[in-house]
């Protein structure tokens, strides 16, 4: 018994917190918790890159204050559009007019401090379309955001001078021409994947790949941006999968059977994060090389391989035909509330063969 008492005597004494000390601690926790944890607080912790390449490599945390915004409340029981599909079966949004709020999206992307790159190929006579493309892009494409225009061309001396807004710049990348327009089209995948590795991964956050023989006619902004997006072909958005012009020959890497397929995507407007665009273009280039080794060329060239890739790797956002339209061929149906990126009338045979 005496030994037990000696053991207990050696143990440290425990004291209960005094009521006043306890209350002070609770008040401090409530005060700081209300400031930093309340959902009403306008403070957001976000990762934001510094300026330049060094800033992209060394990313720190900053406190960013959200501006107070007033906008209509979304209604759970009132869909934004009843006349079109706005969500894919894999839960990717389909972007139509009236399905997004530009002001909210602009605020979110400004917090990300994002830079958007856009690639165009002005090869041979296609350089004549570059001036209109750039002028209309300055009016409608990613207005208010940093943009790098990457112009691939075999005629750098013919690249027009177009005044660009603050934070927007043009980079001319000289590349060789190809004898056939089909080869120019297919080589895009190789060149984009190569330059993703060489510079795009360091210079921009998102990459949009576009055709140059087009013009921007209405707003095209950050609502299109996602990890990986594709655009519905304006000629096939109403068609069944059996009618899609997929590559049907099993010998091709682009082959899609008639009982498969979600949508038919246009090769003239796709993109996403630079890393995802790199994976897409590299995979398509490798498939084109494999087909060439087997003596086969996909029916619609790089577009056929793009559709095969997007069937296997579902896009995280799908753009409606508002973002790729030809009014001369298709008119302006009521379902298209806006025509954003549209074809420029041209003589394909004359342009492609010169």
Q: Pick out the residues of the known binding site.
A: 121-123, 126, 211-213, 233, 303, 326
The residues near 225 (Cβ < 8 Å, ≥ 6 apart) are 109, 114, 116, 206, 271, 272, 317
**Residue 142 C-alpha from the chain's centroid:** 12
Clarify whether 303 is annotated catalytic.
yes
**Residue of 196, 198, 186, 197 whose CA lies nearest to 289:** 186
Residue 90 token pair: 């894999």
The alpha carbon dihedral of 281, 287, 292, 296 has a sign of negative
Identified catalytic residue from 247, 276, 303, 322? 303
The full DSSP string for 159-192 is: PPP----TTEEEEEEE----SSHHHHHHHHHHHH
Residue 335 token pair: 């379902």
Annotated binding residues for Mn(2+): 211, 213
Tell me the Ramachandran region of residue 21: left when phi exceeds 0, alpha when psi lies from -120 to 50, beta otherwise.
alpha
**Residue of 214, 302, 212 whose CA lies nearest to 252:** 302
Active site residues: 303
């Amino acid at each position: 018994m005496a030994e037990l008492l000696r053991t207990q005597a050696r143990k440290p004494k425990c004291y209960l917190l005094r009521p006043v000390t306890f209350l002070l601690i609770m008040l401090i926790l409530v005060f700081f918790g209300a400031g930093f944890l309340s959902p009403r607080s306008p403070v957001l912790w976000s990762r934001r890159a510094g300026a330049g390449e060094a800033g992209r490599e060394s990313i720190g945390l900053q406190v960013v204050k959200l501006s107070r915004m007033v906008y209509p409340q979304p209604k759970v029981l009132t869909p934004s559009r009843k006349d079109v599909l706005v969500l894919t079966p894999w839960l990717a949004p389909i972007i139509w007019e009236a399905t997004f709020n530009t002001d909210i999206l602009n605020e979110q992307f400004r917090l990300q401090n994002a830079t958007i790159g856009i690639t165009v190929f002005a090869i041979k006579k296609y350089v004549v379309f570059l001036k209109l493309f750039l002028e209309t892009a300055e009016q409608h494409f990613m207005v208010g955001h940093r943009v790098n225009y990457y112009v691939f061309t075999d005629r750098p001396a013919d690249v027009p001078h177009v005044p660009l807004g603050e934070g927007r710049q043009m980079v001319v990348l000289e590349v060789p021409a190809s004898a056939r327009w089909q080869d120019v089209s297919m080589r895009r995948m190789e060149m984009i994947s190569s330059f993703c590795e060489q510079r795009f991964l360091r210079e921009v956050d998102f990459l949009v790949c576009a055709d140059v023989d087009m013009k921007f006619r209405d707003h095209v902004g950050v609502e299109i941006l996602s990890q990986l997006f594709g655009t519905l072909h304006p000629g096939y958005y109403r068609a069944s999968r059996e009618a899609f012009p997929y590559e049907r020959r099993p010998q091709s890497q682009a082959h899609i059977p008639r009982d498969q397929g979600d949508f038919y995507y246009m090769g003239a407007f796709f993109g996403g994060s630079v890393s995802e665009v790199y994976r897409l273009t590299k995979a398509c280039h490798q498939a084109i090389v494999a087909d060439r080794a087997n003596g086969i060329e996909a029916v619609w060239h790089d577009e056929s391989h793009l559709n095969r890739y997007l069937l296997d790797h579902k896009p995280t956002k799908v753009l409606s035909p508002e973002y790729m339209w030809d009014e001369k061929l298709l008119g302006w149906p009521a379902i298209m509330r806006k025509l954003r990126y549209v074809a420029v009338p041209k003589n394909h045979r004359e342009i492609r063969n010169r």
